Amino acid sequence: MPGSFFALRISPIVAFHKPPKHDADNAGPQVRNLIRHIALSLRGKLLLFAFVLVIVPGVVFGLLTITSTRRALEGAVGRQLAEVAEDTASEVSERLLREQATMHTWAKQEVMRELFIGDIDKHISRFLASLRASDSGFLRLICVDVNGRVIASSDPALIGRDESGQAWWQGVAGGEDFLAGPFRAGELDAPVFAIAVPVVDPEHGSERRGGMLGLLNWDRFTAVSNRIQRNSQRHKFRVDIDLLDNAGNVIAEAAVVHGPSLVGKNLRQEGWRSAQVLPVTDPGFLRDRGADALVGLARVPELRFQWTVIVRQPLEEAFAEAYRLQRRLSILLTGVLLVAMGVALLFAERLGRPLRQLKAATRAIAETGAAPDPIEVRSRDEIGALAIAFNRMSRQLQRAQSDLVTAAKFAFVGEVAAGVAHEVRTPLGILRSSAQLLRRSAPSDSEAIELVDMIVGEVDRLDRVVAQLLELARPREPIVEPTALGPLLGRAMEFIHARAAEAGIKVEGNLKSSIRRARCDPEQIYQVTLNLLVNALQAMPHGGRLSVKTAAGANGYVGFTVSDTGSGMTPDVMEKIFTPFFTRRQGGTGLGLAFVQRTIQAHHGQVHVHSEVGHGTTFKIDLPAVEE
């Protein structure tokens, strides 16, 4: 069957190079691993999904379409073939009946009276010769008397011949018309059909005086089917028309359009289904596998012969529209499949790019432990949400790494502080006591008293440093409670107000009472605020502006900012400000901001710093907010 509906060529996704013979053992696992990788990859799954999504509905739709189209075409073409067969059968019957009626008309002519004389009659012979010469279609006409002897003929050579033993005369002598054929009659080139009628006495109608036989040119009947065939071809309906007898023999056919001539063949013996159902009663059609054609059948009516007209058209032509539709659907399905595969590849690439970035970033975290750069968020779907979640996780991991580093630093500081406290505090106490004893024994106007006071002051400073180290290394667990930040910040601002006024620094506050309360230890956050305010004052030795503001925050946080208009910090300095013992101020310990960071981390909060050289510094503290 031409134009196979599913003759699709699917180009392979991967072409494998044929390995050398000595590598044959290794080629199998490599191919299996590659196939497994393709089968499990997102691209492979999308391609398989697109293939199945297009092929399965396409196949089902195509089968249903082609099947319904073929059924519709079979019904429409079959009914048309049956109509042509019925028209042909009617015309054949009409032609035979008309020729038979013509013979009766001739048998009743006045000239036939001379037939009763019982002798050879030239008038009747001339009459028959004139009929033969006219376009009557009869190749031979003869008249016999009551004894069956030819007394007149269109062929003079037959006059006097005895026809009494012939079947046609037996039928006519019995008073019935005789019809037989087609067959070949001796020297006549064309096949003929015999029509014989009795000749009766015009005055005594029941008395037979002889008979008349006409051999009709059988081509007159094939001309009927040829004319109908030509009319069908003008409507682009190419068919073959055959006339079958009751035994399935082809006795006549129109001009052959498809294949060789079938005249003389027995179609039952050829295995034609249309010949197995003879004789038929009503016009119809069937699909004949033996003939590889769609066949319409109709019985020739009003004749004693059980002739059947079959009109056939090869299945390839009968279903030509279905085959064209089949080819178009095949091309359309191939095009849709290619487009679907292309779209699937595009989506696989678009979906796979962020996934590959996630995979690379995850591998980088696993191998180096360092948080990678944020992944670009390209969409708002689940992939985009995954990228956002990964970026959030990366930031939290980076923060956790920073917290671990800070904790390690503080642990080191704690060990140092514990050692210093153990080794230094006792000598410092002895030095302070000894200095105080010296001060009592020294004259009041002696210069030694000033030196002793200097020693005591330095010892006290060292003791405070050791105390700060111990507090930084072993911070007190915060006692968390809902705390309003406004009053707490206001108390810290009042504490440094006098010192700020002496330094020519203007203190500004924007403390909103409408923000949510923070979950924190009030005393520790108060100490953090004091450290930040003191650092801000020290950053503005020539005066400036100190600003404290509450901040609503986001994502469950609330906090405040401390801003100054000091000299600001460079990026290199900002990276070190939370490192213990790092300070830019002469006489500073470098532990204040380390304490701030340690305390805020203990509260599960965050410290942010923004500074520009010459434009001041802003510290932002975020603390967990109390849920309303």
Q: Are strands 481-483 and 518-520 parallel, antiparallel or unpaired?
A: antiparallel
Q: In the block, which residue shows the tokens 């907010």?
A: 625
Same domain, 383 and 510: no
CATH number for the domain spanning 176: value is 3.30.450.20
- Looking at the domain assignment, is residue 375 inside a domain? yes
In which domain, by residue range, is 431 found? Answer: 371-474
DSSP letter assigned to residue 625: B
Q: Look at residues 439, 434, 433, 432 and name the one whose alpha carbon lies nearest to residue 458.
A: 432
Q: Is 582 helix (H, G, I), strand (E, B) or coil?
A: coil
Q: Look at residues 122, 95, 123 and name the one whose alpha carbon lies nearest to residue 109.
A: 123
Same domain, 580 and 444: no
Same domain, 199 and 168: yes
CATH number for the domain spanning 615: value is 3.30.565.10
Which of 444, 474, 504 is a domain's end point? 474
Both tokens assigned to 1: 């069957």
Same domain, 466 and 527: no
Q: What pLDDT is attached to residue 14?
A: 33
Q: What pLDDT is attached to residue 468?
A: 66
Q: How far is CA 614 from CA 66, 155, 326, 392, 420, in A?
A: 83, 141, 81, 33, 38
Q: What pLDDT is attached to residue 7?
A: 33
- Looking at the domain assignment, is residue 80 inside a domain? no
- Looking at the domain assignment, is residue 95 inside a domain? no
- Looking at the domain assignment, is residue 202 inside a domain? yes
Which of 446, 474, 502 is a domain's end point? 474
Same domain, 488 and 569: yes
Same domain, 485 and 441: no
- Looking at the domain assignment, is residue 439 inside a domain? yes
- Looking at the domain assignment, is residue 513 inside a domain? yes
Q: What pLDDT is attached to residue 115?
A: 66
Same domain, 441 and 494: no
Q: How far is CA 316 from CA 1, 332, 616, in A?
A: 8, 22, 92
- Looking at the domain assignment, is residue 509 inside a domain? yes
Q: Are strands 544-551 and 505-510 parallel, antiparallel or unpaired?
A: parallel
Same domain, 499 and 610: yes
End-to-end CA distance of the chain: 78
Same domain, 603 and 550: yes
Residue 247, number of CB atoms within 10 A of its CB = 13
Q: Which ranges of 216-319 does DSSP label H, i.e. alpha helix?
A: 219-234, 273-276, 315-318
Blockwise average pLDDT, block size 10, the chain, 628 residues: 33 37 50 50 72 80 82 88 91 89 86 64 80 82 89 87 90 88 80 90 71 89 84 83 91 87 91 90 91 93 87 88 82 82 78 76 76 70 76 77 71 70 74 78 72 79 72 73 91 90 90 88 91 90 90 85 90 82 69 83 89 91 87
Which of 217, 246, 280 is a domain's end point? 217
DSSP letter assigned to residue 590: S
Q: What pLDDT is attached to residue 339?
A: 83
- Looking at the domain assignment, is residue 301 inside a domain? no
Distance CA 540, CA 565 (A): 7
Question: How many domains does the chain divide into?
Answer: 3
**Angle, vertex CA 402, rays to CA 401 and CA 403, nearest 5:** 90
Same domain, 550 and 464: no
How far, rounded to the nearest angstrom, does the alpha carbon of residue 385 sit from its chain's CA centroid? 25
